[in-house]
Amino acid sequence: MAQAGEGQRGGPAGRIAIVGAGPAGCYLAQALLRAAPGLEVNLIDALPVPFGLLRYGVAPDHQGTKAVTRQFERLFDRQGARFFGNVTVGRDIALDTLRASHDAVVLAAGLAGDRRLGIPGDDLPGVIGAGRLTRAILEHPDADPLPDLGPAPLIIGNGNVAIDILRLLSKTPEEFAGSDLGSAPGRWLAEGGIGAITVIGRAPAGRARFDPAMIRELGRLSAVRISVGDRGGDADGPEAAARLAALAAIDGHGAGPRRIRFRFALRPVAVEGGARVEALRVVRPDGAEERIACSAIITAIGFADAGLLGRDGLIGAAADAESGLIAPGLFAAGWFRRGPRGTIPDARAEAQALAGRILAALAPDPGRAGAAALAGLADIVDWQGWRRIDARERAAAPPDRVRAKIPTRGEMLRIARERENAS
């Protein structure tokens, strides 16, 4: 274990920059500051607002999952971590500059890209990645406009992300009470005119990736009719049995206008259409091909590197990326390190182990500038700036919402710059 507390002559016990203020970065900062409260920990995010996936990935109707945000507020309010929002590493400050000014730098910027289908036609208009769609629904400031999904979208994927999208597209306006779904995406959902949603998985149902609890939750939707097609095989273990039981529990649920159909063990081979998507061609387990008509295709088959921070080169060149160390004084955490697998609690467990390794290797150099290297950058949003945005969003929430997100960078920056007392 490294020694905790203040360094010599009252300076910090080391200066650490973490790139990405999502769950991986925040859990790491929390673990570092618990073990060594004298550290200077600077969390840098490309967005003006913190919390990454919790704000722009976790579904707006899963506020309980977002509750870990309260721990991270304490990180800044009480543990002394500093927030530098609206700073893009590689554009506003070079990674080398960051490394020269800190004893350790940790890349925890996540994976923002959608994995592509990799079949003919996967670039047709009307094929949209789940991450792209989620960012639009969750009002990410850099999101694309909300797309036209037509009356019969098809979702490819069998993980929790696919189920999140399915649930959001299926809910009535009343079912978003208590969420932080914004008014524009709320209108888009209410007026989308979706009549049928098909969910397609490559694997048999027993080997699907979703949590059974996510499936059971669908059994509370009021405006749907759910049918579960051929499961593609029997359960081969307790986890598979739990998935099949959850699917059995929702099969036949509801008599609402929106038809939801689950289908399994289908291999997509081509997206068909002219000016836009018209159908997905799949191969069934018996080898026969089938054409499934649809008005849009949402791919929820995993996330991929979006080319940020030269991840490929860094992770690829690391001797032991598994340890989190990718170069001297440079570490990686969360999905940025391990790829798009693992839950929020997994990020916490990883952070606790990685914090120990970082502190063990830390050789603080009092000559490093730390936060001062970031101080001159334009339009930084600090923690107080985020607090002003947060307060505004909470105050603006309609009665059946917990907040009304500010959807643009410009407005975020304007609010962050306001003096708390203008008088």
In the complex, the residues that contact other proteins under the rule CB under 8 A are 27, 30, 61-65, 67-68, 70-71, 74, 178, 211-213, 216-217, 220, 242, 344-345, 348-349
| Overall residue count recorded for the chain in this entry | 423
Asked whether 219 and 250 are in contact (CB, 8 A), the reply is yes
Least distance to other proteins, CB of residue 131, Å = 22
Considering the complex, state which of residue 174 and residue 191 has its C-beta at the smaller distance from other proteins.
174
Considering the complex, state which of residue 18 and residue 143 has its C-beta at the smaller distance from other proteins.
18
Least distance to other proteins, CB of residue 269, Å = 35
Considering the complex, state which of residue 115 and residue 167 has its C-beta at the smaller distance from other proteins.
167
Q: Is 262 helix (H, G, I), strand (E, B) or coil?
A: strand
Show the beta-strand stretches assigned E in 49-167: 82-85, 104-107, 113-114, 127-129, 153-156
Pairing of strands 104-107, 40-45: unpaired
Least distance to other proteins, CB of residue 70, Å = 7
Q: What DSSP state is assigned to residue 75?
A: H
Least distance to other proteins, CB of residue 30, Å = 7
CA-based nearest residue to 99, from 18, 188, 5: 18
All residues at 6 or more sequence positions from 406 whose CB lies less than 8 Å from its CB, including other chains = 389, 392, 393, 412, 415
Least distance to other proteins, CB of residue 203, Å = 20
Considering the complex, state which of residue 64 and residue 376 has its C-beta at the smaller distance from other proteins.
64
Considering the complex, state which of residue 220 and residue 417 has its C-beta at the smaller distance from other proteins.
220
What is the Cα–Cα distance from 72 to 143, expressed in whole angstroms? Answer: 24
Considering the complex, state which of residue 148 and residue 251 has its C-beta at the smaller distance from other proteins.
251
Least distance to other proteins, CB of residue 42, Å = 21
Asked whether 335 and 111 are in contact (CB, 8 A), the reply is yes
